[in-house]
Structure 1
Amino acid sequence: MGKEARERIEARLGEAGSRGSCFAATEAADLIYLRRLIKKERPRSVFEPYPKLFVKADTWQALDRGARALFIIKGIAELHPHWVFFGPSAALIHGMPVSWKDLRKPYVVTSSSISDAEKAQLVHRSSVKDELCLCQGVRATSPVRTLFDCASRLSFQSALAIADGYARTGGLGAEELCDDIRMRFRGQRGVKRVAAICAHADGRAESGGESIARAVMIQQGFYLPELQTPLPDPIDPAKMFRADFAWESKKGIVLGELDGAKKYTMSGDPLDALRDERIRESRLTAYGHAILRFSYAQLLPRNRTEFVALLEKFGVPRGPKPRFVDGVPVKKTVNYAGWRGMPLLCAFNGLGRHGSNEIEFGYAAAHRIAA
């Protein structure tokens, strides 16, 4: 291939990357050239993460797993414009928080035949039961159908993150979301499980990590924290901080902070972000409350014992572990010291309401933390 053709492919790789997509090699000559380049070149300047999809190595290495999955999805959409994405792939397209472990394979709907090479790298089905939409130039199931598909098949933790994201985007409370799910999907397989998960949803969670942390707390019987509790900066009261989690225990107020790399890598200088976070933590400490810091790694199954021990050490209130139905916690815990206990999930008997004796953690209690 001549210099002009090589420059053309380089330009196409760059254009695709700027769109947040892999380059789809639909022409045989491009496909042959790129695969020969990958075979011969060391170190590689181009990767093929999915059959017939290519991306510059430096671009690929700078992406996290979620961004890589989206690059592949957009590339597949160019290869197969008639395919529809569902499940975790559709959730990612819609901007919902998706656990990376659920993005190992794209989820597609297609009635056409699939090559063996692609079949091994896909989760696919042949039909879709709901309306479709176009998002980021990609055909996908609607947001509510995506929520239903994910909550009916994913783990409680993964599904709760997506339900929280949907509730946050739509400005919905758990009760309203449950009612909507039962009405839209009445009689469909999995609706009781989905409604039970949505009964735990809270749109105040600002990240998938916070949702997964709360899911682990629920599974282990810890009382629900207040989310995103506002606290005035003790040095400059005009400014407000927000604690990711807050509990009132017998030992006093406990503030929980999920530490994540994204806090330091999303934009700007990572050192500046780290410095700002340390200043924020020091000022929260001025209130005299215990600050429980933990990382996403501590939420993983292999480290969960450590996370539970950490919550117990800080005196986070805990009741008995809930009863599970189809992998979803459905048992109510006892309220404690004016704090909201675990929601009473009656989705499995058709009610889906929070307990009438549940005490909401409100404005006055938030000010008690800052006092």
Structure 2
Amino acid sequence: MLRTAEQERRCALGDGGALSHALRRRVRALEVVSPYPNLFAGVEYWDSLNAEERSLHMIRALMILHPRWTFAGLSAACVYGYQHAYALHDGSVNIASAKGSNRKDARQLRRIYMHDIPRWQCRGIRVTSPARTLIDCAGMPFANALAVYDSALRSGHVTVGDVETLMVRVNCDEPAVKRLLRHADARRENGGESWVYAHIIGLGYAEPLLQVEFDNPGNPEMPYRVDFCWRLADGRIIVVEYDGMAKYADASLPGRASLQAKLDYERRRERDLKAQGVTAIVHLFFEDVKDPTRLDDKLSEAGVPRLR
């Protein structure tokens, strides 16, 4: 049963009888985990999953147990495949509900109240509509929610207008939703860029240009594209790259020759950018963005303009 569930990318279901009893005994023996009542998975298999995959395994199993449930919030965002920070997962599952919480609910179950539930189907799972999902995700920290909004816009599932139309018809945190819609942009290519952008503007810096292209003399058909760029009135051009050369830093790895080629490419890229007028290139790593003081120091030192 456990193997079958793994093949179907979900948790196994207890039967409420002898099988459930046997599974719970294995949980006590630390051979099996039970992330939600009556849901089970082998420890080794569960440990191989990331936080999003674990949530999806629970959702797929609960869909079988409760076919009338409509998943919402972060759970719906997972089903749609919207990028988000794994740190948002706390083992809970979100569903839409026209009623309040039930004292019989599992502690991992969170109901999001909706008078009218806009039901969609995605990957065979009932979820709230993309617009409603984004409205519910507005309760996340801004930097985390912006990644979800950007990803949803990139997917083509939803438009800013769709969210604006629904926002005036439902009870929601309008200031948070409006702020997210004002800054959401499908041109940011991944959740990391969204996260960095949110922290930059959160510190009061001017909004950067996105995905600006520069000539690549070595390969004109493949221009250089930078994550963030500021073109200042005095002629300065400031470029900020997220994660820059971090993934190439360990030259002790077996693929050292390949890593060296990547380092050489980065140096050539920086030289070409500066030849086209770029006056400062800032490489940001995760630790820089996570620490507001470090981020502020790097942006200020590079001369990124501040609005406040």
Fold shared, TM-score > 0.5 on shorter chain: yes
Alignment of 1:116-127 (within 5 A): 119-125=106-112, 127=114
1:169-220 Cα deviation digits (max 9, x unpaired): 2288xxx71x443333324333632233201111111112211211111121
Query: What is the CA deviation profile of residues 199-255 of structure 1, one whole-angstrom value per residue up to 9, with x for unaligned ones?
Result: 111111111221121111112111112222234444232333422222235683332
Q: Is the 8 A contact 2:243 2:285 kept in 1?
A: yes
Summarize the alignment of residues 191-340 of structure 1 with structure 2, pairs less than 5 Å apart. 192-193=174-175, 194-249=177-232, 252-259=236-243, 278-287=263-272, 288=274, 289=278, 290-300=280-290, 303-320=291-308
TM-superposition CA deviations, 1:121-154 (whole Å, max 9, x none): 1221454523201212221101111112222x22
Structure 1 distance, partners of 2:20, 2:223, is 54
User: What letter is aligned with 2:84?
Assistant: V
Q: What displacement does 1:258 show?
A: 1.8
Report what 1:135 is aligned to. 122
Deviations 1:259-286 (CA, angstroms, capped at 9, x unpaired): 299979xxxx995986675354223212
SS at 2:41's partner residue?
strand
* Alpha carbons of structure 1 residues 58 and 31: separation in structure 2 relative to 1, 3 Å: same
CA separation of 1:199/1:29 partners in 2, compared to 1, >3 Å: closer, same or farther?
same
Distance in 2 separating the partners of 1:225 and 1:80: 46
2:193 aligns to what SS in structure 1? helix
Unaligned runs of 5+ in 2: none
How do 1:1-371 and structure 2 match up within 5 A?
9=1, 13-41=2-30, 44=31, 46-104=32-90, 105-110=92-97, 119-125=106-112, 127=114, 129-151=116-138, 153-170=139-156, 177=160, 179-190=161-172, 192-193=174-175, 194-249=177-232, 252-259=236-243, 278-287=263-272, 288=274, 289=278, 290-300=280-290, 303-320=291-308
The structure-2 alpha-carbon separation of the partners of 1:200 and 1:48, relative to structure 1 and needing over 3 Å to count, comes to same
In structure 2, what is the Cα distance between the partners aligned to 1:317 and 1:37?
59
TM-score, normalised to structure 1, is 0.69
| Larger mean Cα displacement after TM superposition, 195-204 or 182-191 | 182-191
Contact kept in structure 1, 2:240 and 2:281, CA below 8 Å: yes
CA distance in 2, matches of 1:26, 1:296: 45
Which residue identity is paired with 1:285?
E
Question: Where does residue 353 of structure 1 map in the other structure?
Answer: none
CA drift of 1:114 comes to 5.3
Report the residue type matching 1:281 in the other structure: E
Q: CA separation in 2, counterparts of 1:28 and 1:208?
A: 44
SS in 2 for 1:238: coil
Code of the residue aligned with 1:205 in structure 2: it is R
Change in 2 beyond 3 A, CA 1:126/1:156: closer
2:144 aligned counterpart, secondary structure: helix
Q: Name the aligned partner's letter for residue 271 of structure 2.
A: A
Unaligned runs of at least 5 residues, structure 1: 1-8, 321-371
Partners of 1:277 and 1:15 in 2: CA distance: 42
Code of the aligned partner of 2:191? G
C-alpha contact 1:260 1:296 (8 A) present in aligned 2: no
Tell me the percent identity. Answer: 31
CA shift for structure 1 position 306: 1.1
Residues 146 and 194, structure 2, Cα contact 8 Å, conserved in 1: yes
Please say if residues 132 and 166 of structure 2, whose CA atoms lie closer than 8 Å, have aligned partners that are also in contact: no
